[in-house]
Structure 1
Amino acid sequence: MLTVPTAYHTTVGTASTSVFFYVERGCKKEGTSIILVHNHPSGDPDPSRQDISVTRKLVKSGKIMDIPVVDHVIIGEKRYCSMKKLGYIR
């Protein structure tokens, strides 16, 4: 099942997200895994401290709820970043 919820609309340099939001959506939709994708309007897809923190919390929560986080992809201007490839998700 594929669901593409819009979590938050933010402006450059501001982001606020809740781990609960994603885990709740996964549970309600009877999801078997979660893939997160968002963009960085600055064009630089390198993960911010907040991206890393949220990803770690989601991975931990996903393990508890048996809904693994497969990847967290950040889209930039001409490239993207996979937090799985960077080792943040195992």
Structure 2
Amino acid sequence: MLNLLLSGHTNTKIFQVTADSVLLGIHSSGGTTLYRLLQTFGKVTIAWTVESPIYGKHRLEWDFDEFMDQNKMMEKIMSDLKQYQPM
């Protein structure tokens, strides 16, 4: 999943890694987009947050079974983001 998210934009980088989570995203003068991946007891939670001076703050979150196909996880996330984004 990390590789799929990292490949989304050339400036995406990992900001923090802990025993059960990873924080990655993009920060620029136009705002910040972050993904937090958290693994807990048989599931993976992915939180998407955006802070933009133009569009404000936005957040979505998904819970997936930890063994779900990662490409299907990404399809769901991208589909939801496409429907949600006010931009």
Q: Which has more strand, going by share of residues?
A: 2
| TM-score past 0.5 threshold | no
For Structure 1 versus Structure 2, the TM-score category normalised by the shorter chain is 0.3 to 0.5
